[in-house]
């Protein structure tokens, strides 16, 4: 089994998108997928959640049939955890896989990965306009809040491990991963709540509104 070598290009990206991608790859540098049905090599992961993961399509040596369940291993450092997954979407940018019957112990481990990233205390305000607040930390996590003229939260966007979580009134909280949108899980909802609660740099009135939304309460509940 051969692990891909790391690239040093993350230090001088030419665009914001490349910078975000480099940050994600840096944070996931010790996480790989082994799936011999698609490649003899361990594959670098470019996004991951408790629902699935994404890899670069160019790394796939033998393209699998869509929705066919494949055996594999998630490699984190020196630990290899067996799992099953299936290819659900492939574009020029990403090959998206969903986990199949993920063992609870592995699901809990992935939630720990999320929890370590969701450190709201490290967010800093980087941009402010009449109706938009943008927060970032030093490792690529982001939070964007869109406001109404009455200072009510209208939209929320959070970037985590290469994935996007969005909220709008019509749709609720959605996880966008591998260009597929789905409702967030209860586990991720709990972690996002802790993330917002710990983000002391965000004005309390906005924090409370987002927290209420995550708890299915009216946005202006006290």
CATH code of residue 13: 2.40.10.220
**Are both 162 and 87 inside the same structural domain?**
no
**Are both 194 and 125 inside the same structural domain?**
yes
* pLDDT (0 to 100) of residue 148: 94
**Are both 26 and 89 inside the same structural domain?**
yes
**Are both 93 and 147 inside the same structural domain?**
no
Q: Which domain holds residue 160?
A: 121-214
Q: Span 119-126, mean pLDDT?
A: 81
**Are both 125 and 209 inside the same structural domain?**
yes
**Are both 49 and 90 inside the same structural domain?**
yes
Q: Is residue 60 part of a domain?
A: yes
Q: Shortest CA distance to 148 belongs to which of 164, 132, 160, 162? A: 132
Question: Where a domain ends, among 101, 132, 150?
Answer: 101
Question: Where a domain ends, among 70, 101, 132?
Answer: 101
Find the radius of gyration of the CA atoms of the chain: 18
* pLDDT (0 to 100) of residue 10: 41
Q: Is residue 2 part of a domain?
A: no
Output 198 or 42, whichever has higher pLDDT.
Answer: 42
Beta partners for 155?
Answer: 146, 168
Confidence band for 2, pLDDT divided at 50, 70 and 90: very low
Confidence band for 90, pLDDT divided at 50, 70 and 90: very high
* pLDDT (0 to 100) of residue 218: 73
- The Cα–Cα gap between 127 and 125 comes to 6
Q: Is residue 106 part of a domain?
A: no
**How far is CA 6 from its chain centroid?**
21
Min mean pLDDT across 87-91, 161-165, 208-212 is at 161-165
Q: Span 77-105, mean pLDDT?
A: 89
**Are both 59 and 142 inside the same structural domain?**
no
CA triplet 158, 162, 167: central angle to 5 degrees?
25
Beta strands in 91-152 (DSSP E): 95-100, 124-128, 132-136, 142-147
Q: Is residue 109 part of a domain?
A: no
Q: What distance, in Å, lies between the first and last C-alpha atoms of the chain?
A: 55
Q: Is residue 138 part of a domain?
A: yes
**Are both 88 and 132 inside the same structural domain?**
no
Q: Check whether 153 has a pLDDT greater than 90.
A: yes
**Are both 171 and 94 inside the same structural domain?**
no
3-state secondary structure of 5: coil
- The answer to whether residues 24 and 141 touch, using CB atoms and an 8 Å cutoff, is no
Q: Is residue 219 part of a domain?
A: no
Question: Where a domain ends, among 101, 129, 161?
Answer: 101
**Are both 95 and 126 inside the same structural domain?**
no
Token output for 44 = 């670098």
The structural domain count of the chain equals 2
Per-residue pLDDT tens over the stretch 41-88: 999 888 887 788 899 999 999 999 999 999 999 987 777 889 999 999
Q: Span 169-184, mean pLDDT?
A: 87
Q: Is residue 115 part of a domain?
A: no
Confidence band for 116, pLDDT divided at 50, 70 and 90: very low
Q: Shortest CA distance to 24 belongs to which of 61, 55, 57, 52? A: 55
Q: Is residue 48 part of a domain?
A: yes
Token output for 47 = 């996004």
For the chain, the average pLDDT equals 81
- The Cα–Cα gap between 177 and 77 comes to 23
Q: Check whether 21 has a pLDDT greater than 80.
A: no
């Amino acid at each position: 089994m051969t692990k891909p070598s790391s690239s040093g290009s993350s230090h001088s990206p030419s665009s914001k998108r490349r910078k975000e991608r480099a940050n994600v790859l840096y944070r996931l540098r010790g996480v790989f997928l082994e799936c011999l049905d698609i490649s003899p090599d361990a594959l670098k992961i470019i996004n991951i959640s408790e629902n699935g993961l994404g890899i670069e399509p160019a790394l796939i040596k033998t393209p699998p049939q869509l929705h066919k369940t494949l055996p594999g291993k998630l490699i984190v450092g020196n630990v290899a955890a067996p799992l099953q997954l299936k290819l659900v979407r492939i574009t020029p940018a990403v090959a998206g896989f969903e986990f199949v019957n993920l063992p609870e112990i592995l699901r809990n481990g992935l939630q720990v990965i999320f929890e370590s990233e969701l450190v709201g205390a490290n967010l800093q305000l980087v941009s402010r306009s009449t109706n938009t607040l943008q927060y970032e930390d030093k490792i690529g996590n982001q939070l964007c809040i869109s406001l109404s003229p009455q200072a009510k939260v209208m939209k929320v966007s959070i970037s985590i491990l290469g994935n996007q979580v969005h909220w709008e009134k019509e749709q609720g909280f959605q996880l966008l991963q591998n260009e597929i949108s789905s409702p967030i899980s209860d586990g991720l909802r709990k972690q996002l709540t802790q993330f917002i609660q710990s983000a002391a740099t965000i004005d309390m009135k906005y924090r409370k509104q987002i927290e209420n939304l995550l708890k299915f309460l009216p946005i202006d509940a006290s």
